[in-house]
Amino acid sequence: MYSEKVMDHFKNPRNMGEIENASGVGTVGNAKCGDIMRIFLDIDDNGIIQDVKFKTFGCGAAVATSSMATELVKGKNVQEALQVTNKAVMEALDGLPPVKVHCSLLAEEAIHAALWDYAEKNGIKIEGLEKPKNDISEGEEEEEY
C-alpha cells in the first residue's frame, strides 16, 4: 500500500520528539478523525529553522508525512518553509494512496500552525501565512454508489 520511502520514514521517523521552549509549536488535526500532528520549531534570529521536531498520533502516512515535512523545512528560512506544500511532501515520499492524501495536507498545515505560533509569539507578520485551520477536512469526495 505504501511506497518504500513512506515505509522508511514510518519505520525510522526523522526528527521525532519535542523541543522545549520552542520558537513555535503547532498542533493540527483531531483525535476524532484519527490524526493529530504537532510540530515544534526552533528558529534563530535570522529566521532560519535550526531545529524541528514532531509528534504524531495517526496512521503510517501521518507519521511519514510528519517526518518528511520536518526534513523539508529543516535549515530553511521562514519564507522557504512556507513554500513546502503537501505536494512537495508527497513527491518526496514517492506518492501516497488516495485515501491518505489528507495526511500530507495535515503536515503542511502543521508547519503553518507552528509558524503562526512563532509569528504570534514574536509579534510579527509572515507574508502569505494565514491563520491555519485547526482541522483539515478530507480533500476527496467519496463516490456515491
- The catalytic residue positions are 33, 103
Contact characters 46-85, other proteins, x per CB under 8 A: ---------xxxxxx-xx----------------------
- Smallest distance from other proteins to CB 128, Å: 26
Q: How far apart are CA 118 and CA 124, in angstroms?
A: 8
All three cell numbers of 121, joined, read 509569539
Sole binder of other proteins in the list 32, 130, 137, 141 (CB under 8 A): 32
- Report the interface residues with other proteins, using CB under 8 A: 1, 7, 10-11, 13, 16, 18, 27, 31-38, 55-60, 62-63, 99, 138, 142-143, 145
